[in-house]
Structure 1
Amino acid sequence: NEKGVFYALDLGGTNFRILRVHLKGEGGGLAAQEFTEVSIPPNLMVGTSDELFGYIVEEVLKFVAQEGEDFHPAVGRKRELGFTFSFPVMQTSIASGTLIRWTKGFNVEDTVGQDVVVKLNAAMERKGLDMCNQRQVNDTVGTLAGGRYTNKDVVASVILGTGTNAAYVECVQAIPKWHGPLPKSGEMVVNTEWGNFQTSHLPLTEYDHALDAESINPGEQIFEKIISGMYLGEIVRRVLCRLAEEASFFGGSVPPKLKVPFILQTPDMSVMHHDMSPDLKLVGNKLKDVLDISNSSLKVRKVVIEVCNIVATRGARLAAAGLFGILKKIGRDTVKTGEQQRSVIAMDGGLFEHYTEFRKSLENTLCELLGSEVSEHIVIEHANDGSGIGAALLAASHSKYCQADES
């Protein structure tokens, strides 16, 4: 019910977003929103927590300095921040979260086992950012909250970007682990952390095993390493490198840049996969610009697209299988007689938003698993900035001013 201006910091990968959102109050929706997106320098992803959070706070300060009059807080009221932190944490309250481990290429060792809200608040104090930060949420839960704010039919949320995760709304009686007070609603949000899912049934290849072994977190985030945006391009590179080594795919020698890990990014892969030109010019351009491979033949370019298609299709179909598992768990995989039960999945992340062939494959696979009758009642909605807006909404719902009024 709270209205006013709230900020959100969305830290989920190699980029982070800062948002300011003007809420109208109950039933009013969003009056306005603004955001900026900032890239994190690679050295800070493996540096110290003071360096990482100090850099982030400096960018927040720049964004606040650009605040227009319409976003100024009321007299006597501090700016309030919702913090989306999209890494595995042990969370015992909305105001704290202890980092279990880093994912998605981060390895800031002195933060593991520490409360990330405390780390951020300390950086805010050091840098002179006068802002109230007392609520932290996972990006997937934030996307779920943002989706439910505008659509009560939202039952789950999925992030498909640099990393991946899913959350859903569960009946509290179906959660045997929970021993605390029962929520009045009878429902609870379950953050699955499905990126760390692992089973012998996953279709892992030698390329996946090698990628995992050489990663900064071997043996962890296996599901994420075969379906998320950080890794798909790298898998393609490894396949192409093997073709070059064993089949002289690019000529008599292996192109040196093809041996560089992560030089081929998933956006590059997406561009090649979507190339519909007769001579596959975009594929040729990417091979030349990214891998320094010139004069590739049409036959070679067609094989490159096929490799992209295989890797993307596997990832999309596995993501759809995970989503189907959630729908089955909450009983949304069937249509009950006499009911028109609509189930909405809030989907966010650059992989889903920008990689059209990946998105199509995911949607088609989900329809295949559910069947045509059930699929008519399942809707995937793109939740643009869902995690950041959700964090701002949670900041509003836990506003210290709102709580002060109630007391």
Structure 2
Amino acid sequence: MEQGNPKPRVALIAGVTGMVGVSLTEALKMPLALGGPWTVYGVSRRPLPIWFPSSLLDKHIILDTLDQENTHKILSPLCAQITHLFWLAKYNSPIEDVSISMNSTMLCNVLSALTSSPYSKLSHVALQTGTKQYLGPIYDPVLSTQVIPHEPPFKEDYPRLPFPNFYYALEDILFSYSKSLTYSIHRSSIIIGASSMSCHNALITLAVYALVCKHENYPFRYFGNKFTWEHFCDASDARLLAEQQIWASITNSAKNQAFNCTNGDVFTWKMLWIVLCEVFDVEYVPYDEKYRGSSVEFMKDKAEVWDRIVEENGLHKTKMEEITSYDAMDAVLNFQIQHVCSMNKSREFGFIGHANTLASIKLWIEKLREMKILP
């Protein structure tokens, strides 16, 4: 760890209302948080939702970081306070060139504002990315048909794939600041956490599908292929991602490094499906090749069903199209490779955090119920 009695640390969490943003806010404010006590500022494009633990934030900033002028106006006065930036923000577009442009602009605007003064205190940036680092632009309708992913288990020292990737662009932006601050890069797998504000929340996406099936008496069928049903996948608990990012931010040997961050175990989608059936009290339907389909197609006309579920159970008002991502789910469930990362580097550098994926599924669903997002 860093030596001596450090000066007060002030964190700015960009994307604070997402799954990891919520967990990171809670983790930084724990009495025994590494490097604490922390002052925590959060940035989001919209007001805090009612379920967010707003009392834990010392300051909340509503800001569209695509707006360069406003970003500088709001954040530059804070540059003499903020010591650590946790970058969880994400502009989601299936077109990779659009993702590169938008996400790069957001990060550049914030970094420019926070380093605009000779009195800037920013010393470290934790950047969250993911396994698109190894898979390539899997959501791009054109590029996804051309890319050949790396062989699993994915390792941090794999070379970049020869395709556009906004994760690469964000890394390059950080590298350009390497003379003035340190960084850490955190590559997640499928994130499991609790938020209705994340663009890709696999757990809510699966939960809404299960609840619609239960409400309308549809069979809860698996829409993926036989390969993913039977082969291994991994996931990243939002609490674990928060823990690793804090660790890397205050551990000298972990700085200027990229780390995978997964739970450290693996599952098959068959195993996970059984857990979902138990949690949502729906009948387990074994995989059957004859019933292959698309969750996008199945769910395209189910928005009104979700509205009824929300109303009947007194849930916070959410729109199905805003809290689910069935296009992303279809892509993941139809991989032809095992989606597994190596955690060896992270362990060798001293981070030994882990989580039980199937157990965490139940925990996070219970949390989403407490938050009145799920019934």
TM-score range, shorter chain: 0.3 to 0.5
Larger % of strand: which? 1
Which has the larger Rg?
1
What is the TM-score when the length of structure 1 is the normalising length?
0.33
TM-score calculated relative to the size of structure 2: 0.35
